[in-house]
A and B are shown apart, each in its own frame.
Chain A
Amino acid sequence: MLLLAIDTSTTAITTALHDGSSVVAEVTTLDARAHAEHLAPGVRAALAQAGAAPTDVTDVVVGIGPGPFTGLRVGIVTGRTFAFALGLPVRGLTSLDALAHEAWLRGRRGDLLVATDARRKEVYAATYVLDDSAATRMAGPLVSRAADLEPDVRGLPAAGRGALLYADSLPLAVEPVDVSGGALADLAARRLALAPAAPDGIRQQVEPGHGFDGLEPLYLRRPDAAPAPPSTKSTLG
């Protein structure tokens, strides 16, 4: 198995390869404004690091957010297209789960809030319980002002950039800050190991289930647009 993981839901443009037992390559660039520039070269560099050809990849997993829309789409369309081009299954995972999983990998246990930057003075948030077996999502994801989260939630240790941006509301900032491709790949590999094999002939979007979330982006907001008013303003003054 060689699993390619991609996430562009946070400031990190991150990609990693997992061979079924461990992460064998990871390339991450921090640049909130240039996802499309860095991602494809990152995938190529990760393949080179692993000494693998694109055709060696067997599975693709992408973080489906929530995250700022423009960057988020770059990762999802890259994962979908890469998988289509090589006839591979492609699956989605909630990006916030990768942050919680990384905290779990680092040994954190107990309750955890994950809060990432949703721009417009809001955060994307979800809560987790981390026990010895896994990080399990209890609520979310949702989009909210940090100050409007429930008081008991705001008092939790908080991973993600939201805790750095809104320290007044989220005083207990903990690592990690951004999604790591390696953590996403590790989480995906663990869930794949538990999932039944995909039926033969599947190439493209694998239905959600068995720990995976489908491939639709988690926008959590509608586009800003209002229907056009019926008449235009006067031109006669």
Chain B
Amino acid sequence: MSDEPLVLGIETSCDETGVGIVRGETLLVDTVASSVEEHARFGGVVPEVASRAHLEAMVPTIERACREAGVALRDLDAIAVTSGPGLAGALLVGVASAKALAVALDKPIYGVNHLASHVAVDIVEHGPLPEPTMAMLVSGGHSSLLLVPDITNDVRSLGATMDDAAGEAFDKVARVLGLPFPGGPHIDRAAREGNRIAIDFPRGLTTGRDLERHRFDFSFSGLKTAVARWVETRHRAGESVPVADVAASFQEAVVDVLTRKALLACKEHEVDHLLIGGGVAANSRLRALAEERCDKAGVTLRVPRPGLCTDNGAMVAALGAQMVAKGREPSDLGLPTDSSMPVTLVQA
């Protein structure tokens, strides 16, 4: 037996019902039930559909995780759960389930931040986080640059998106191009056949006063509109739309801004480790360009494997295990969900 804390993590902030079990810094199991297919025909995640799916998947997902890891619930040291940010009704299902485990098993509960969990998950993939680490989180709901001196209680926000999240821009552009939801993987695939410099789409907040005032903030709404206008102009002229070129040029604009700002943050804060997490971190061009630019800048890049970049329970368990290992106090059993939990608040 090991002295390292055995923690079960529950994640239900959006459309994935995730349960993971971590011992210390070792991932034992990561189980995810997704309702993404139920949302596809609506062109986006429908909160009530997601909440209903969480309720049905919750206990079977916990059961599967325990079975696959060979873990008995009574052997757990703690329960961790995403308490925010996310969809209010979806978060409630996971938090209520985690609390029921805590009461039934008489275990401590840690309500943790979804975004901090996206950072912490890389501990079970690539080992302890250097302190500080620069972290960029890019997903359908978030685009943030974070300076992380201590993932269990000190996360500082350097900047975030002013409008659309990066992943949201992928979904919206996919729709303009007639590609299915979720847009990220489809644009990534289409872009491989396209020319990245075919169309010079705008890079938001990267020049002049915008860059001064919003040094580490992002804006993708103008880019999305620029793509839509470009495509509509072609349609009106009766010309065909080169989907691969549009996808590749759009994708390049997004990942160019993301990596440029992330490395600028590393340089100005003298941090030599960059971690990229969140669903968009699964994008192959983002990974390639980040690697290229990090190499040039002498920055070590850490990106969890794609399965751990999208929402999952392992990331919550990973952060919970850090909390236990560092002796952080558990949350109160009355802990609330917080759909707009600030990124700087690691624990509820």
| Closest residue of B by beta carbon distance from A237 | B229
| Closest residue of A by beta carbon distance from B105 | A85
B99 is an interface residue with CB less than 8 A from chain A: yes
Measured CB to CB, the closest approach of chain B to A66, in angstroms, equals 14
A194 is an interface residue with CB less than 8 A from chain B: no
A73-B93 in contact given A85-B73, A236-B233, A236-B236 (Cβ < 8 Å): yes
Within 48-89 of B, Cβ neighbours of A (below 8 Å) are at: 48-49, 51-52, 54-55, 58-59, 62-63, 73, 88-89
Q: Mark B169-199, 1 if CB is under 8 A from A, else 0.
A: 0000001100001000000000000000000
Measured CB to CB, the closest approach of chain B to A205, in angstroms, equals 8
A154 is an interface residue with CB less than 8 A from chain B: no
A38 touches B229 (CB 8 A): no
A197 is an interface residue with CB less than 8 A from chain B: no
A225-B46 in contact given A36-B92, A77-B96 (Cβ < 8 Å): yes
- Which residues from A are CB-within-8-Å of B96? 35-36, 39-40, 73-74, 77-78, 81
A166 is an interface residue with CB less than 8 A from chain B: no
Segment at the interface with B among A116-124, A136-144, A227-235 = A227-235
B176 touches A232 (CB 8 A): yes
A54 is an interface residue with CB less than 8 A from chain B: yes
A235 touches B229 (CB 8 A): yes
| Closest residue of A by beta carbon distance from B44 | A228
B106 is an interface residue with CB less than 8 A from chain A: yes
| Closest residue of A by beta carbon distance from B225 | A235
Within 294-348 of B, Cβ neighbours of A (below 8 Å) are at: 333-337
Measured CB to CB, the closest approach of chain B to A230, in angstroms, equals 8
A37-B335 in contact given A81-B59, A223-B49 (Cβ < 8 Å): yes
Which listed residue, A37, A54, A204, A227, touches B336 by the CB 8 Å rule?
Answer: A37
B1 is an interface residue with CB less than 8 A from chain A: no
- Which residues from B are CB-within-8-Å of A193? none
A225 and B176 CA atoms in complex are apart in Å by: 20
B206 is an interface residue with CB less than 8 A from chain A: no
B88 touches A70 (CB 8 A): yes
A1 is an interface residue with CB less than 8 A from chain B: no
Within 199-243 of B, Cβ neighbours of A (below 8 Å) are at: 225, 228-229, 232-233, 236
Measured CB to CB, the closest approach of chain B to A128, in angstroms, equals 28
A35 and B92 CA atoms in complex are apart in Å by: 9
Which listed residue, B89, B97, B337, touches A78 by the CB 8 Å rule?
Answer: B97
A224 and B52 CA atoms in complex are apart in Å by: 12
Within 220-269 of B, Cβ neighbours of A (below 8 Å) are at: 225, 228-229, 232-233, 236
A37-B334 in contact given A73-B93, A84-B59, A228-B43 (Cβ < 8 Å): yes
Which listed residue, B54, B100, B334, touches A85 by the CB 8 Å rule?
Answer: B100
B116 is an interface residue with CB less than 8 A from chain A: no
With most chain B CB atoms within 10 A of its CB, the pick from A38, A47, A79, A225 is: A225
B48 touches A36 (CB 8 A): no
Which listed residue, B62, B233, B333, B335, touches A81 by the CB 8 Å rule?
Answer: B62
A81 and B73 CA atoms in complex are apart in Å by: 11
B36 is an interface residue with CB less than 8 A from chain A: no
With most chain A CB atoms within 10 A of its CB, the pick from B55, B102, B228 is: B55
A223 and B213 CA atoms in complex are apart in Å by: 42
- Which residues from A are CB-within-8-Å of B104? 54, 81-82, 85-86
- Which residues from B are CB-within-8-Å of A74? 92-93, 96
A198 and B335 CA atoms in complex are apart in Å by: 35
A96 is an interface residue with CB less than 8 A from chain B: no
- Which residues from B are CB-within-8-Å of A43? 100, 103
B100 touches A228 (CB 8 A): no
Measured CB to CB, the closest approach of chain B to A49, in angstroms, equals 14
A110 is an interface residue with CB less than 8 A from chain B: no
A40-B175 in contact given A82-B100, A226-B42, A235-B228 (Cβ < 8 Å): no
| Closest residue of A by beta carbon distance from B42 | A225
A69 is an interface residue with CB less than 8 A from chain B: yes
A34 and B336 CA atoms in complex are apart in Å by: 8
| Closest residue of A by beta carbon distance from B175 | A232
| Closest residue of A by beta carbon distance from B233 | A236
B103 touches A80 (CB 8 A): no
A188 is an interface residue with CB less than 8 A from chain B: no
Q: Offer 28 A-B interface pairs, CB within 8 angstroms, sorted by A.
A: A36-B95, A36-B336, A36-B337, A37-B335, A40-B96, A40-B100, A40-B333, A41-B334, A47-B103, A54-B104, A69-B52, A70-B89, A73-B92, A73-B93, A74-B92, A74-B96, A77-B58, A77-B93, A77-B100, A78-B99, A79-B100, A80-B97, A81-B96, A85-B101, A85-B104, A217-B55, A228-B181, A232-B228
Known contacts A81-B101, A228-B43; 5 further A-B pairs (Cβ under 8 A): A35-B92, A77-B100, A85-B105, A225-B48, A235-B232
10 A-B pairs with the lowest CB-CB distances in the bound complex, closest first: A228-B43, A40-B99, A223-B48, A81-B100, A85-B104, A225-B46, A235-B228, A82-B100, A78-B100, A74-B96
Interface residue ranges, A against B (CB under 8 Å): 34-41, 43-44, 47, 53-54, 69-70, 73-74, 76-82, 84-86, 204, 217, 219, 223-228, 232, 234-236
Interface residue ranges, B against A (CB under 8 Å): 41-44, 46, 48-49, 51-52, 54-55, 58-59, 62-63, 73, 88-89, 92-93, 95-97, 99-106, 175-176, 181, 225, 228-229, 232-233, 236, 333-337
